[in-house]
Amino acid sequence: MEPRDRALRRSDGFTLIELLITVSLLAIVGVVLIQTLTAVTRSEAYQADRTQSLDSMRLVLNGMTKELRQATAVDDANSSASHIVFTTYVRGTLRTITYDASGSTLKRRLDAGAWITVQTGLATTSIFSYQSAPPVPGAQWVRIILQVEPRRDPETTLVLDSEVNLRNRVQS
């Protein structure tokens, strides 16, 4: 065999060290890609949950604001930071609406009907605060502060607030 043929035969394949280095580099690149994909997926899931929570909060806050704007009176004796009872017009009829925050849930009741859950994931049950305006006694302004922790990231608290003037307030 000629020396040239021996040299070609030695360079025909890969050595074990070359294969180990190549496999190690591919494994490192694969791990980095998987971690990046996982982080992007987790971030997108959090963002979708955050958006869903904010949409839900907006709907609840808008409904409460609308109902309170039409209210004739807040029942001061039965209302607190976590509970509000007020009379308001619903489709032209005077009705009593109650909101109650307990645990991580906000519920609504119309007159003496069944409680309906309107918001979950509350970070606090202190939602309502009241301000009076003489000469009519009782609440003239109601401030609502909704604080919700999204399911996928309970370390984050989303906050929406509204200050509502009872336009139809009357002296009882």
8 A C-beta contact, residue 126 and residue 114: no
pLDDT in tens, 17-65: 989 999 999 999 999 999 999 888 888 888 888 889 899 999 999 999 9
User: Model-level pTM?
Assistant: 0.75
Could you state, in order of their start, the residue ranges of all structural domains in the chain? 28-165
Sheet holding 128-133, edge to edge: 128-133, 136-148, 158-165
